[in-house]
Structure 1
Amino acid sequence: MDAIITGQSERIGLSVIDNNDVEHLIEMNESGKIMAHQQDGYPDKAAERTHSEGEHVGHARKYAQYYVAQETDYDTIPWDIHADRFADVRQALQALSTDEIDHFFGDVLEQSLSHYWDDPDVDVGETTRPHELPAEMIGSDNAVRYKQELYLDDTGAIEAVSGIGIEYYVARGDRTTTWHGDSPDREPDAAVDVVPAPLIDPVSFRDYLDYNLRCQIRDCYLMRGMEPPEQYRVLGHGQYRFTGKYENFDLYPPYHDFQADIPGYSHEFRPDLPITWAELRGMTSPNQSGSLYDQIKNTLFTR
């Protein structure tokens, strides 16, 4: 990807060259809204483009917003693909005390753990389900994801979080999100996208949210046609809307799959544990019967 700014007046004009060497002439306003977009490499109508062609067009638009933000004083990147904001939120997450983690994320932790009520290997204690799953939901509980928006104050600390968003299927291929609770009346700095996990300890759960944002930063770069910086070449679930692309579009490897074999990428989720990594390694052996999970579950997944 490459770009140059071709003019600035009421609109900002750019020439963007995508990864297929197709030129895109793009105009946006100072807030990053795309006002005009011309290119000759792909069909003009979105419905007539292949998935890959549509992604290249999307890359050009997102790269244009990113490039203007880098080269001018305008903040033209939408908040939900803003890697720098996500990095700030990660730093704020890492600074939280256990009590603060519980204060901000206790409900979504309970919501996540409630999916393991019937799992004899996970000690959910007196976990409740703060919000019942929608009656119109189809499919299994495992298809549910939870969202929560995060808001920073002027010092870069977490000031508030939104209520919980429940994302679920209402028909085959059709998902919707129902929100519970209130949110500050301003744009969030990031949103975590949570797949239910058998994590009990609040610190481990915080690390899980942090890793999700790390994967989302990876997504931000990939969605504008760029290779992420090395620290963000990680495997795992980021934003669900991009997971669907990784699963179904030939243009992308399966970055969401932590077992995927993608050169230069690895799964690096390492939560704080109640034991050291040396102790954990001492508990496991390829010669023992049972799975790795069976070998460690009583230490990691009980209170």
Structure 2
Amino acid sequence: MSMDAIITGENEEIVGLSVIDNKDVENLIEIGENGEITGHDSDGYPDKAANRTDNDNEYVEQARRYAKYYVYQQRGYDTVDHAENPEYVNAVREAITDLSASDFEQYFGPLHQQIRSHHDESVQRLVDLPAGVRAEDAVVYELDVYLGVDLEDDAVSDTAEAVAASHGLDFEAATAETVSAATQPDLVDWEAVGEHVIETTDVDDIPLEIAAVSGIHVGYPDARGEHQVQRADDPLDREPDATIELIPADPGGFEAFRDYIDHHLRCQVRDCFAGMGLLPPEPFQTIGFGKFIYARRYDHYDLYPTFHTTDTDSGGLFG
């Protein structure tokens, strides 16, 4: 089984879809042009989330995420938050690849220094951890990244589909199999692929550049174990196009940090597709830490393979 959708009707404000999810259940979903879910009905699940199983709730959420992305793909509406949209995340990844050494150090040197401070006492920590938070807690450093162009601007690309093709994301290939089709042997192969940087297609006539990055946000567990974020300044008054989220694992020397971030963002693209119930396109079939929330989902729901680790004895990243 794989995710499938058709547009059943639309007007100037609302798009209606029929989405068949990975349980072969039909979901009738209405989405506004801004991505708001204005209606969702399905005979396959109880109406109230409290009356569904955890897995069934996640199937419902997969259908909603898939519906938003499908409308983005088919109609070009900005229905998906950029940092959750695999095309924006990959565009940021490619823009970072093209940075000069000095520009890369300017934007990402502080983040490397912050993480290195967990492994080398001689390295100054730029951002203090919140009171009561220990270095060994589930700390996640976040850095919002902003592109210098808007991928929805008609001057850049006539359609969202063209943007997807220009950045190596084959939407049809991603819909060919459900995410649960990945087996443990597959994941071992994915982990091996993750050791190498895979270049996807760049297109010269679509200029991509990094316009700005935020300060370093600090994610941490509060006294109840809930994830909180101590936010730094954001330089632009708009949503980021991707958010780098790194745990304080040793990133190695600065020369290798660009590859480290590249792999991390490919894992994020993987997570975006997995969250829609889709097996990601081949260049993004890799193992490693991508989005924090998906690491938790992989640990919690048995409908996902453990894409963030193939170590079945580890208990996951967060216990």
Normalised-by-shorter TM-score class: 0.7 to 0.9
2:51 maps to which of 48, 51, 54: 48
1:135 maps to which of 117, 122, 131: 131
1:200: how far off?
4.5
- Cα distance 1:182–1:72, how it changes in 2: closer, same or farther (>3 A)? closer
Map Cα deviations across residues 93-124 of structure 1 (whole Å, 9 max, x no partner): 11122211210011111110010135xxxxxx
Supply the distance in 2 between the matched residues of 1:157 and 1:260 (Cα, whole angstroms). Answer: 39
Supply the distance in 2 between the matched residues of 1:247 and 1:65 (Cα, whole angstroms). Answer: 25
Partner of 2:213: 161
1:73: how far off?
2.7
RMSD over aligned Cα atoms = 1.7
Supply the distance in 2 between the matched residues of 1:213 and 1:116 (Cα, whole angstroms). Answer: 23
Partner of 1:8: 10
Higher relative contact order (CA 8 A, sep 6+): 2
Aligned 1:1-303 pairs, distance under 5 A: 1-9=3-11, 10-118=13-121, 126-137=122-133, 140-154=135-149, 155-259=207-311
Q: Which amino acid aligns with 2:280?
A: P
Partner of 1:286: none
Q: Which amino acid aligns with 1:16?
A: V
1:81: how far off?
1.4
1:258: how far off?
4.9
Q: Which amino acid aligns with 2:145?
A: L
Q: Secondary structure at the match of 2:299?
A: helix
Map Cα deviations across residues 225-261 of structure 1 (whole Å, 9 max, x no partner): 1111111111110101110111121111211105469
CA contact (8 A) 1:24 1:38 kept: yes
Supply the distance in 2 between the matched residues of 1:258 and 1:95 (Cα, whole angstroms). Answer: 31
Q: Secondary structure at the match of 2:117?
A: helix
Supply the distance in 1 between the matched residues of 2:76 and 2:305 (Cα, whole angstroms). Answer: 34
Identify which range, 20-29 or 200-209, moves more after superposition: 200-209
Supply the distance in 2 between the matched residues of 1:157 and 1:258 (Cα, whole angstroms). Answer: 34
CA contact (8 A) 1:18 1:60 kept: yes
Map Cα deviations across residues 200-241 of structure 1 (whole Å, 9 max, x no partner): 432311211111110010011111111111111111101011
Supply the distance in 1 between the matched residues of 2:268 and 2:141 (Cα, whole angstroms). Answer: 15
% identical aligned pairs: 44
Q: Secondary structure at the match of 1:227?
A: coil
Supply the distance in 2 between the matched residues of 1:172 and 1:60 (Cα, whole angstroms). Answer: 30
Map Cα deviations across residues 146-189 of structure 1 (whole Å, 9 max, x no partner): 00010111331011001111011112431100012333111111
Identify which range, 251-260 or 153-162, moves more after superposition: 251-260
Q: How many residues align?
A: 253
Supply the distance in 2 between the matched residues of 1:258 and 1:92 (Cα, whole angstroms). Answer: 30
Q: Which amino acid aligns with 1:187?
A: E
Q: Which runs of 5+ in 1 are unaligned?
A: 119-125, 262-303
Supply the distance in 2 between the matched residues of 1:174 and 1:25 (Cα, whole angstroms). Answer: 32
CA contact (8 A) 2:137 2:221 kept: no
Taking structure 1 as the reference length, the TM-score comes to: 0.79
Once superposed, which parts of structure 1, at least 4 consecutive aligned residues long, lie more than 6 Å away? Answer: none
